[in-house]
């Protein structure tokens, strides 16, 4: 029987309990051990939508295993609270060390996105990402619009341009709070209406070289871990962002694009950058040189588009079969194993990964009887 914990139910791993001497059988929700033999996962503890706690254990059949598919944030967190991870991190939270692996929670990455606001002469229709332009430098140029359709839209969420829906990752962990979000909402009410009468051209970095890490707040699986992506820490990422903004400038200066913008608007690139910063699409404090320094503009306007990956890299935390190194009966199959995420939405890639590994596991267990 294969047990998955990828459902919406909140699931976590039992704390390690030693039953008797060092030679006795012991377990930790996902992890079990017998003396000095290799650690083995035996089950999971999870909470259902009604708050009820449950335990599920693997059968004794050969090949029974647990498949963790909790994503780039959830999977490394589950391994850590189960005792698989850096010794120093586990000791800090008094977690029994099942297997020391310094790579769990490391190499966290996210494709950074900056955008330029473009006012339009006519009310824009709502549009998500439909066309993607890929530059030779690996910068993705995309467009999103439709944030000013009603008179009170300024009081509503504005899709990926709203800090209320997850842009806390762009500021240091110590500054992340509910009050920071409330302050953003209050400030947004004073923004000029024209800021939302138009659309955004996005510049997204594919395969950033900047990486960060994930650490626990505590051992409660319901607590959000602290994740730092270190956007633009690597100078190459910043250079690529500047290249993307300059590419956007070339696009909006074309005759074709001028058909969409007000004839008498007189919007210079500097003014557009100032309007983009004024949109306050994240919680990062702004600077006075945002419109004169494209490097600073990139840093101050960066947002996440939720392409999180890393934390359980292949070859470091899991092997080529996605089996957790140092533990049997346990795999991680999701975006946390990726060292690089697609520049566009990674959903199709992750689904394809799941399909591929699902078929492979069935064939290994059942052979021709698998029927796939």
Task: Report, as residue numbers or ranges, the catalytic residues.
Answer: 307
Tokens standing for residue 346: 């990674």
Q: Say if residues 338 and 307 touch (Cβ distance below 8 Å).
A: no
d(CA 202, CA 52): 44
d(CA 337, CA 109): 11
Query: Strand locations in 48-182, DSSP E?
Result: 53-57, 65-68, 84-85, 99-100, 106-108, 112-119, 133-134, 139-145
300 sits in the region (left: phi over 0; alpha: psi -120 to 50; else beta) called: alpha
d(CA 259, CA 122): 10
Q: Say if residues 31 and 95 touch (Cβ distance below 8 Å).
A: no
Check the CA dihedral 246-247-252-254 and report its sign.
positive
d(CA 91, CA 98): 11
């Amino acid at each position: 029987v294969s047990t998955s914990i990828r459902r919406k139910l909140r699931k976590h791993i039992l704390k390690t309990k030693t039953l008797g001497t060092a030679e006795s059988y012991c377990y930790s929700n996902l992890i079990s051990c017998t003396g000095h033999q290799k650690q083995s996962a035996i089950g999971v503890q999870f909470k259902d939508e009604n708050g009820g706690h449950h335990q599920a254990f693997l059968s004794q059949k050969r090949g029974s295993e647990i498949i963790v598919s909790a994503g780039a944030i959830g999977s490394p967190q589950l391994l850590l609270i189960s005792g698989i991870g850096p010794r120093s991190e586990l000791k800090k939270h008094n977690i029994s060390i099942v297997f020391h692996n310094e790579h769990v929670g490391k190499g966290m990455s996210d494709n950074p996105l900056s955008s330029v606001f473009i006012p339009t002469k006519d009310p824009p229709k709502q549009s998500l990402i439909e066309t993607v332009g890929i530059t030779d430098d690996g910068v993705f140029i995309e467009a999103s619009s439709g944030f000013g359709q009603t008179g009170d839209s300024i009081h509503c969420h504005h899709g990926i341009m709203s800090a209320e829906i997850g842009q806390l990752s762009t500021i240091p962990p110590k500054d992340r709070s509910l009050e920071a979000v409330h302050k953003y909402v209050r400030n947004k009410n004073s923004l000029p209406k024209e800021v939302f009468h138009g659309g955004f051209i996005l510049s997204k970095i594919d395969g950033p070289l900047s990486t960060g890490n994930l650490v626990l707040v505590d051992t409660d699986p319901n607590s959000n871990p602290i994740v730092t992506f270190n956007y633009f820490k690597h100078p190459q990422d910043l250079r690529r962002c500047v290249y993307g903004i300059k590419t956007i400038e070339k696009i909006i200066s074309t005759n074709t694009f001028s058909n969409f913008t007000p004839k008498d608007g007189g919007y210079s690139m500097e003014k557009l950058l100032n309007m983009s910063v004024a949109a306050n699409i994240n919680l990062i404090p702004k600077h006075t040189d945002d419109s004169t320094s494209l490097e600073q503009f990139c840093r101050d306007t960066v947002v996440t588009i939720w392409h999180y990956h890393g934390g359980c890299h292949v070859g470091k935390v899991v092997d080529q079969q996605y089996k957790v190194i140092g533990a049997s009966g346990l795999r991680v199959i999701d975006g946390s194993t990726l060292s690089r995420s697609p520049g566009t939405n990674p959903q199709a890639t992750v689904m394809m990964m799941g399909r591929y590994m699902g078929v492979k596991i069935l064939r290994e267990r059942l052979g021709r009887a698998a029927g796939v």
